[in-house]
Amino acid sequence: METANIICIKWGTLFGPEYVNRLYSGVRRNLARDVRFFCMTEHADGIHPDVEILTLPQEPFHDEMNAALAVANRQGAMRKISLFRQGLIPDLDGSLLGFDLDVVITGDLEPLLTIDPGKVAMRADWVEARRGRTTGHGSVFRFDPSRHGYLYNDLAQNPTREVEKARGSEQRYTSTKAQERDDFTYLPADMVVSFKHDCLGLPPVNYLRDPILPLNARVVCFHGRPKMPEAVNGYKGSWLRYSRPCEWLNHHWIDLTTKDLGPEYG
């Protein structure tokens, strides 16, 4: 069986190394094949030694891209574009399955690697889908740099135009580009779920029951609030997104990582 290639990006200091380590542990516990796990970052301290570090580059188009993003009020976004560059990992064999750091792995990831091979894969964005838009959500994304280098090249060649066209949204840029080439597929909605949309429930349900873990969920995305540490302990920052303490999140995200990698990385 081919090695599974997994990638994430950690830039800045919002997320500590424990987010990378917990993601790495969750991935390798939920794949029955060898795993190569990459992290692109400028802060590698504290990351487990089995994670392969890629230097976060200063792209030649960053200044123009950031100027366009500032107009879109999205300064600092779209850093994932560097992951799409052909030759990023010279000895890479096959596609990459990418994750944001604000996700927790809860089940078998094999279907996310194998569904509709050769295409860019993302889950449909929850809010955009309700508005009738086809935008993918960037928390989980699969691509092959040898096939999908246009995701890097198009923006590198004309950053201002591409940022304006995507209205400053990295996930809109990525999914729209692939869809224009008939090179896109959606990841199953029941496998990639949202904590706030699929686990909490609306008031008063979120006040009366603990958050649920949907039966077929493989990845739970913590986009917006609450984030994982808030949900573990219980979140009171919003009446709409109020959450009782989440035991299954503590189990999958912290306890199993500590058992797998040791307390220094859990």
Residue range(s) defining the domain that contains residue 210: 192-261
Tens of pLDDT along 11-37? 988 899 999 999 999 999 999 999 999
pLDDT at residue 148 tops 90: yes
232 lies in the same domain as 140: no
Q: Which of 161, 186, 211 is the last residue of a domain?
A: 186
9 lies in the same domain as 59: yes
Residue 69 near residue 77, CB atoms below 8 Å? yes
pLDDT at 75: 63
Structural domain contains residue 224: yes
Q: What is the DSSP letter of 195?
A: I
Tens of pLDDT along 44-100? 999 999 999 999 998 999 899 989 888 877 766 788 999 999 999 999 989 999 999
Peptide bond into 204 cis (omega under 30): yes
| Max CA distance (Å), the chain | 52
pTM of the model: 0.96
CB atoms within 10 A of CB 31: 20
Pairing mode of beta strands 136-143, 96-99: antiparallel
210 lies in the same domain as 181: no
Structural domain contains residue 145: yes
When computed from its CA atoms, the radius of gyration of the chain, rounded to whole angstroms, is: 18
Burial 140-157 (b: 16+ CB within 10 A, else e): bbbbbbeebbbbbebbbe
47 lies in the same domain as 113: yes
128 lies in the same domain as 205: no
Structural domain contains residue 64: yes
Q: How far apart are CA 99 and CA 266, in angstroms?
A: 18
114 lies in the same domain as 149: yes
Structural domain contains residue 266: no
Residue 203 near residue 239, CB atoms below 8 Å? yes
Tens of pLDDT along 94-127? 999 999 999 999 999 999 999 999 999 999 999 9
120 lies in the same domain as 18: yes
124 lies in the same domain as 244: no
Tokens 């990418």 found at:
98
Q: How far apart are CA 174 and CA 251, in angstroms?
A: 33
* Of the candidates 87, 111, 94, the residue with the CA atom closest to the CA atom of residue 2: 94
Q: Which of 138, 166, 186 is the last residue of a domain?
A: 186
Tens of pLDDT along 151-190? 999 999 999 999 999 999 999 999 999 999 999 999 999 9
pLDDT at 1: 75
Q: How far apart are CA 146 and CA 225, in angstroms?
A: 35
16 lies in the same domain as 77: yes
202 lies in the same domain as 158: no
CA distances from 199 to 55, 207, 241, 248, 257 (A): 35, 12, 10, 11, 22
Residue 139 near residue 100, CB atoms below 8 Å? yes
49 lies in the same domain as 65: yes
Structural domain contains residue 44: yes
Tokens representing 27 are 């991935």
Q: Which of 156, 186, 216 is the last residue of a domain?
A: 186
82 lies in the same domain as 45: yes
pLDDT at 76: 65
Count of domains forming the chain? 2
pLDDT at 15: 95
Tokens 């950690």 found at:
10
Tens of pLDDT along 212-266? 999 999 999 999 999 999 999 999 999 999 999 999 999 999 999 999 999 998 8
CATH of the domain at 77: 3.90.550.10
Phi and psi at residue 143, in whole multiples of 5°?
-160, 165
